[in-house]
A and B are shown apart, each in its own frame.
Chain A
Amino acid sequence: MTCSLLLLGVAFAQDPVDPGGAAQPPDVEPALIQVASEADNSEGVGFPPDGPPVTDDATLEARTYALSKGMRCPVCQGLSVADSGAEAAVAMKARTRELVGMGYSDAQIVDYFVGRYGTWVLLEPPAEGVNYLIFLAPLALVGLGGLAWWSSVKRGKDAVAPPVPAPKTADDDPYTRRVLDELER
């Protein structure tokens, strides 16, 4: 059963027909694109909506790690961006660090990557639309199992004990008759 749940998860996590996940809040996208294009001449980039830049190294690294841990590397697809040494993953990590440093919120950074790679890039599928199945299926299965268990217990209690069969006697059938005869001999 674990296996089928896993399959469900994989199937729906990769489902490209779910456009809801790729949608972005309109107020985030233009700002990020602007930053992306202006970043070469890094002066003149205004504070992003979330606040001033993060300068504290420990916070920067911790948030970069946490964010890249939740994203899937596009090349070595079983690994997170944080765990992968592939070129694309390293670049994505660098970009994440850069965006964190500029002061973007976690949600904005996730939106940035989802807008480019789809919800595919998230290692944990977002709880929305058809994906709810993955989150609800285990609960439903536990419920069904409980129901089955309860009904079997109930059936066991309600059942009347079967009548104890009377011990066989020689009159019952010729075969027993013969066996008994042989023994008595």
Chain B
Amino acid sequence: MNWKVLGAGFLVVAPLVVVLASGFGRDPKALPNVMEGREAPAFSLSDMDGQAVSLAGLRGRPVVINFWASWCTPCAYEHPELLAAAQRWEPKGVAFYGVVYGDTEEAARTFLKRRGSAYPNLLDLDQRVAIDYGVAGVPETYVIDAQGRIARKFVGPVSAAALAEVLGSL
């Protein structure tokens, strides 16, 4: 047995195994979550009735912001969950807002007419607010606490139970 060759081979292979082991252990498409715990970026958008809504005006109560689009299948899938969560938590002082992402107002209206709505939806058609929040795709849901910090960021469809867990702890 040639111990030198074996040792050199080990030196080359071992780091590779470590890199592959850690690399395969996570989703390469997942973005790092850097927004959690930070102050939520301020915004002022108008809802579908032309009413202006600003985050600053909501200070003092928890806010749930859901970025969605009518063309997004997982958004349709999570929609009933959000409606259920809003029904349960809005009486307790939590504000729910949808933010329409990369969509037309008309398509968004059709979506809401078909699937129901329980809270105002804001128009962010140029995606400026979405970029401010670091949204990479829809759906994404942000839970902002009463002090205006992002308590939790959900990427992908969210369930009423998962929202309840975060809102209950605020």
Contacts and interface: CB of A to CB of B under 8 A. Distances in A.
Contacts of A117: 31-32, 34, 134, 136
Interface stretch (B81-89, B122-130, B161-169): B122-130
B102 interface: yes
Interface residues of A, number: 29
Given A11-B22, A37-B42, A120-B32, A95 B137 contact: no
Contacts, number: 84
A125 interface: no
Interface of B is mostly: loop
B36 to A, nearest CB: 11
A4 interface: yes
Contact of A74 (B16, B35, B133, B136): B136
A84 to B, nearest CB: 12
A2 B100 CA distance: 44
A88 interface: yes
Nearest to B131: A95
A116 B131 contact: yes
A79 interface: no
Contact of A37 (B19, B31, B41, B126): B41
A14 B130 CA distance: 22
Nearest to A148: B8
Interface in B21-48: 22-23, 26, 28-35, 39, 41-44
A45 B30 CA distance: 35
Contact of A116 (B29, B102, B132): B132
B58 to A, nearest CB: 13
Contacts of B126: 91, 94
B20 interface: yes
A33 interface: yes
B30 to A, nearest CB: 8
A60 interface: no
B136 A75 contact: yes
A110 interface: no
Interface in A139-174: none
Contacts of B131: 91-92, 95, 116
A36 B132 CA distance: 7
B136 to A, nearest CB: 3
A75 B102 CA distance: 13
Contacts of B44: 37, 40
Given A7-B16, A91-B127, A92-B131, A22 B32 contact: yes
A34 B43 CA distance: 9
Contacts of B42: 33-34, 36-37
B137 to A, nearest CB: 6
8 contacts: A40-B44, A87-B127, A88-B127, A88-B130, A88-B136, A92-B131, A94-B126, A118-B32
The 4 closest A-B pairs by CB, nearest first: A74-B136, A116-B134, A16-B32, A91-B127
Interface of A: 4, 7-8, 10-11, 14, 16, 22, 33-34, 36-37, 39-40, 74-75, 77, 87-88, 91-92, 94-95, 115-120
Given A39-B128, A75-B137, A77-B29, 7 more contacts: A10-B23, A16-B33, A33-B42, A87-B102, A88-B135, A91-B102, A115-B34
